[in-house]
Amino acid sequence: MKYFRHLILRLLLIIVGIIFLSGIAFAQTLIVALGDSLTEGFGVSREEAYPYLLEKALLRKGYVVKVINAGISGSTSASAYSRLKWYIRTKPDIVILALGGNDGLRGLSVEHMKKNLSKSIELAQSEKILVLLAGMQIPLNYGTEYTESFRNSFHELAKNYKLPMIPFLLKEVGGVSSLNQPDGIHPTPEGHQIITRNVLEYLEPLLPEIN
């Protein structure tokens, strides 16, 4: 009788161990896409915006992930810190930081933008959250000096904080009329599909570090 009790106990421990390890193996990776109208999906449905498409693409590849669309139209880098502080409560593993585009379009100070993004990056890193920085660019009609300074600022941030970076979120979309809505700024559903591929290229290599 004593032998059987020990046998049952061992089996229970094995079952509990299997359940525990399975929970680790299939733990969900939480990704927060923190951005502006490009992330929110201005002019398209929520299911057509790149965060939703990104989650579906990753699920098809077998990753156990959840992507939160934390985009707010019109937001600038000034909102990054407070919004990230709120989303930290969800305990994300990765934050896609895709802010700054509106700073550029409004001709705001590049140095102030860098300070705002730096503060947010430092907050994320203090919480052991991996940041994937999305590089932005603005039209050349803002002047060569400003557009170059704006573009380079994202590369400088990535270098200073040792961040993985999407060189240009709107690669093959920005400036292509057929992939943008009549305002020439916000992508169409087809444009969001290309953005999804742009993000996926740099996000997917990070997932083995998390999973």
- Residues taking part in catalysis: 37, 183, 186
197 to each of 34, 38, 209, how far by Cα in Å?
17, 14, 20
Q: Which residue has the tokens 């998390």?
A: 210
The amino acid sitting at 75 is S
- Confirm if 187 and 179 have CB atoms less than 8 A apart: yes
Q: How far apart are alpha carbons 206 and 93 in whole angstroms?
A: 10
φ, ψ dihedrals at 189, nearest 5°: -55, -40
Q: Are β-strands 29-35 and 65-71 bridged in parallel, bridged antiparallel, or unpaired?
A: parallel
- Confirm if 33 and 71 have CB atoms less than 8 A apart: yes
Q: How far apart are alpha carbons 150 and 135 in whole angstroms?
A: 10
Q: How far apart are alpha carbons 118 and 77 in whole angstroms?
A: 10
Beta bridge partners of 134: 166
Q: Which residue has the tokens 């699920």?
A: 59
Q: Which residue has the tokens 């593993």?
A: 93
